[in-house]
Structure 1
């Protein structure tokens, strides 16, 4: 079973490959700041399935979530910080390699990144879709490396 370093590397490589593929077919224009954000989201997606167990990957994931929550609070986006907190608690209610290691969770877990900003703030879906794809790509790399398919 791969450890957190393999999952971080795998999700990073998968994210780069997807970005290069999308650039190659003309669906994405490189914006360096957004690329960094997308790769961070991709790595978080790659760590997410193992946050239901005590691991280094779990600690890294929650460290990233904590920094994001603190940034949201600093920016006075309290509602978003609350949504993030609820989503971060979900894996704590299941057994390891339970629902977090399923293909449907790979598609459903990042869905709030599309739905909430669209319905609450009216953000257009095309601006949100890259972050959803990045998280799903990282998540897919984790399931692939764990041989869940």
Structure 2
């Protein structure tokens, strides 16, 4: 993502050798990129509960790639959040193209947090996935 996309989020080194990257989502980023279609009470709760997180770059670089026998044997579903400003629809499609899902569902009017912006619709889709893959 371009630097300006992160708005007021902060990235700082962490770890004994400062080789990790911690991120803290800023208030403007949460309001305008993660929760822009979510109810105000969920935005406020997110603001109160936010904590620094990791991009896990160092951890992931030390792991083996997923195998076809393990991860590749699991049926996958992907729910595209059409109004996600954090992971735009084009990038979500590239993710699906890179590692195809058995089922792709598109959700209109959903931001990055469909459990807040469209909880009933998300629940319906998760039940649909469970029924289809059971």
TM-score by length of 1: 0.28
Q: Judging by fraction of residues, say which structure has more helix.
A: 1
More contact order relative to length (CA 8 Å, sep ≥ 6): 1
TM-score by length of 2: 0.30
Question: Rg: which structure is higher?
Answer: 2
